[in-house]
Amino acid sequence: MSTDMPLVVGNITEALAKVNLPHAKSIVLVGDDNMENLEIALVAHAMNPTSRLIIRTQDRQFCDNIAPLFPYAQVLCGAVFSAEVFACAAFGENVLSFFHLNAQIVMVTEYNIEEGDTLNGLLLSEIAHGYGVVPILYQKYRQENYSLMPWDDVTLYAGDRLIVLATSSGLQRIEWGEMLPRLWQVQVEQALTQNAIARGAEKISLIAGCSSTHARQWIDNLPGVLPTPLYKYQAQRLVRELRKVQVVASAIFNEQP
């Protein structure tokens, strides 16, 4: 444990007053007494209604009974979940479940997108390759229907719902907004027909996530390299789609992001 981490010991009421609770982003309660955890959670929520509450219990029945009564808290059964899952729950997202894969814990995590989120305005392909997660469900704002294994070209906006498979490192990257570098670009040589220009611009806008105006400007001035940096899979897919509409292109790797 870091020597710089403050430790407050004592009466709960007095201790809560000393830990800057009104500005806490998350509060994790891991005591052995379920009712005491619940009592502290109620006090903490009253002091800071915007904080994320995570309550650990070893009683699965207690978990099932309490969770529906406190929608602002996440009640997790310690007998089922690991410490890593508790830590990730503290990021403020909803860990629905988890499983072990190749000695790693993979969490099924739900995001309800808000303005200012690190996921807002990104393509699913950017989220997948930039944060190292796997989108498995997408639901557009105010729509009942949802998509399983959604298309990479979907853009997330405030109000949308997304469920991903992710390790703790992927969830941390999302929390901090630290995307992996985009090291690929697409060089476009020529459009073989007039129709290829319009269709090629559509492909560029869709896969690269740029405006249709910019896509058309770029393809009207060939040959050239698209200025938008991409992830490898995005670049390769864009090249394949451009070739289908008779636009000659290739993917270029750049060592510097």
Q: Helix, strand, coil shares of the chain as percentages rounded to 5? A: 35, 25, 40
Q: Is residue 167 a contact partner of residue 132, using CB atoms and an 8 Å limit? A: yes
Cβ atoms within 10 A of the Cβ of 63, count? Answer: 20
> Do residue 167 and residue 197 come from a single domain?
no
Q: Is residue 99 part of a domain?
A: yes
Task: Find the length of the chain.
Answer: 257
| 78 has pLDDT over 70 | no
Q: What is the pLDDT of residue 88?
A: 65
> Do residue 61 and residue 8 come from a single domain?
yes
Instruction: Specify the CATH number for the domain of residue 247.
Output: 3.30.1390.10
More confident residue, 141 or 151: 141
Cβ atoms within 10 A of the Cβ of 127, count? Answer: 25
Q: What is the pLDDT of residue 139?
A: 96
Determine the Cα–Cα distance for residues 65 and 59; give it in Å rounded to an integer: 10
> Do residue 149 and residue 193 come from a single domain?
no
Q: What is the pLDDT of residue 181?
A: 94
Q: What is the pLDDT of residue 82?
A: 60
Cα three-residue angle 149-150-154, rounded to 5 degrees = 160
Q: Which residues, listed in sequence order, are joined to residue 74 by a DSSP beta bridge?
A: 54
Name the least confident of 66-70, 81-85, 98-102: 81-85
pLDDT in tens, 216-250: 999 999 999 999 999 999 999 999 999 999 999 99
- The number of domains in the chain is 3
Domain limits for position 189: 184-253
> Do residue 155 and residue 201 come from a single domain?
no
pLDDT in tens, 19-55: 888 888 788 888 888 888 888 888 888 888 888 788 8
Tokens of 55: 């309550």
Mean pLDDT in the chain? 86
DSSP state of 179: P
More confident residue, 170 or 4: 170
> Do residue 97 and residue 71 come from a single domain?
no
Cα three-residue angle 91-60-31, rounded to 5 degrees = 60
Name the least confident of 3-12, 22-31, 208-217: 3-12
| 1 has pLDDT over 70 | no
Q: Is residue 86 part of a domain?
A: no
